[in-house]
Amino acid sequence: MSLHLPEGEAAMSPQHNADIDPRNTGSKAVGTLLSALAFLPWLAYWFITDMDEPAGIAIALAISCALLAQQVWTASYRFFDAGAFLYFLAAAIVTYALDSSILVTEAGPIGFAALLAIALLSLVMHRPFSADAARNEYPRAYWRNPAFTTLHTIITSAWAFVFLVCGIVLASSALPAADALPMGLLLAGFIFSFVFQIMGPAFLVTQRYRPFEWHVPLTPTSSHQQDEFDVAIIGAGIGGLTSAALLAKRGYKVLVLEQQSQPGGYCRSLERGDFAFSSGVSGMTGLWDNGPVRRVLQQLGISPDGRFTPHSVRYVHKGQSIDTGCDLQSLADSLADAFPGESAHVDAFFQDASAAFFQLHEYSSRFDTPLPDHLVVRLMGDKAAAHLPRIYPNLFDWMGKTLQQKLDEHLENNELKTIVSAVSGQNGTRPEATTGLRALIGCMGPQLTGLHYPSGGPGAFAEAMAHAVESHGGTIMYNYRADRILTDRRRVRGVRSGAEIFQAHVVVSNANARTCVLQLVEASEAGGPYIDFIKSLAMSRSAFIVYAGIDGDLSSYPSLIQNMDGDFTILINSNADPRLAPRGQSSLTLIAPIGYRDFPPRDERDYDDRKRQFAALLLRKAEEVIPGLTEHVAVLDAATPRTLESYTAMPEGALYGFDQSTGSRRPHFRAPIKGLYFAGASTFPGAGVESVVMSGMICANDIAGWGRDNGRA
Q: What does the DSSP 8-state code read for residue 673?
A: S
CB of residue 291 vs ligand FAD: minimum separation in angstroms? 12
d(CA 622, CA 316): 11
Residue 239 or 549 having the CB closest to ligand FAD: 239
Nearest approach in angstroms of CB 300 to ligand FAD is 16
Q: How far is the C-alpha of 556 from the C-alpha of 419, rounded, in Å? A: 22
Q: Which amino acid is at 530?
A: Y
Helices (H) then strands (E): counts for the chain: 30, 18
Find the part of the chain contacting ligand FAD (CB under 6 A) among 184-192, 614-622, 683-691, 699-707.
683-691
Q: Candidates 8-16, 465-473, 531-539, 681-689 — which segment interacts with ligand FAD by CB under 6 A?
A: 681-689
Strands 492-497 and 484-487: antiparallel
Of 153-161, 251-259, 379-387, 400-408, which segment contacts ligand FAD by CB under 6 A? Answer: 251-259
Please tell me whether residue 521 binds ligand FAD under the rule CB under 6 A.
no
Q: Which is nearer to ligand FAD, 147 or 257 (CB)?
A: 257
Identify whether the C-beta of residue 209 lies closer than 8 Å to the C-beta of residue 648: no
Q: At a CB cut-off of 8 Å and minimum separation 6, what does 227 contact?
A: 500, 501, 502, 503
Strands 586-594 and 542-550: antiparallel
Residue closer to ligand FAD, measured from CB, 20 or 655: 655
Quick one: 387 or 541, whose CB is closer to ligand FAD?
541
Stretch that binds ligand FAD, among 214-222, 354-362, 388-396, 679-687 (CB under 6 A): 679-687
Strand partners, 411: none
Q: Which of residues 274-313 bind ligand FAD (CB under 6 A)?
A: 280-284
Q: By three-state DSSP, how is residue 179 classified? A: coil
- Within 584-603, the residues that bind ligand FAD by CB under 6 A are 591
Q: Which of 403, 689, 694, 698 binds ligand FAD (CB under 6 A)?
A: 689
The residue count for binding ligand FAD (CB under 6 A) is 40
| Contacting ligand FAD within 431-490 (CB under 6 A) | 481-482
Cα distance between residue 447 and residue 283, in whole Å: 12
Nearest distance from C-beta of residue 695 to ligand FAD, angstroms: 7
Neighbouring C-beta atoms of residue 327, cutoff 10 Å: 15
Longest dimension (CA), the chain: 100
CA distance 233 to 240: 6
The single residue among 82, 692, 699, 704 that binds ligand FAD, judged by CB under 6 A, is: 692
> Is 500 within 8 Å of 484 (Cβ atoms)?
no
- Beta carbon nearer to ligand FAD, 259 or 575: 259
Judged by beta carbon, residue 20 or residue 233, the one nearer ligand FAD is 233
Site map (CB under 6 A) of ligand FAD, residues 208-247, x = contact: --------------------------xxxxxxx-------
Single out the residue of 128, 182, 201, 265 in contact with ligand FAD (rule: CB under 6 A).
265
Rounded Cα distance between 205 and 208, Å, is 5
- The whole-angstrom separation of Cα 139 and Cα 437 is 19
Residue 650, interface with ligand FAD (CB under 6 A)? yes
Q: How far is the CB of 336 from ligand FAD (least distance, A)?
A: 26
Least CB distance to ligand FAD at residue 517 (A): 12
Minimum distance of ligand FAD from residue 319's CB (angstroms) = 25
Q: Where does this chain touch ligand FAD (CB under 6 A) — which range of 38-46, 145-153, 508-516, 594-602?
A: 508-516
Q: Which is nearer to ligand FAD, 236 or 246 (CB)?
A: 236
**Closest approach of ligand FAD to the CB of residue 134, in Å:** 38
State in angstroms the smallest separation of the CB of 225 from ligand FAD.
22
CA dist 156 and 481 (Å) reads 53
Determine how many CB atoms are found less than 10 A away from the CB of residue 210.
Answer: 9
Closest distance to ligand FAD from the beta carbon of 630 (Å): 22
CA 358 to CA 356: how far, in whole Å? 6
State how far the Cα of 685 lies from the Cα of 367, in Å rounded to an integer. Answer: 14
Restricted to residues 379-438, the positions that interact with ligand FAD (CB under 6 A) are 426
C-alpha to C-alpha distances, 433 to 207, 416, 428, 663, 687, nearest whole angstrom: 27, 18, 10, 8, 15
Which of 629, 504, 12, 609 is CA-nearest to residue 253?
Answer: 504
DSSP for residue 12: T
What does the binding site for ligand FAD look like in residue numbers (CB under 6 A)? 234-240, 257-260, 265-267, 280-284, 426, 481-482, 510-511, 515, 543, 545, 591, 644, 648-650, 655, 680-681, 687-690, 692
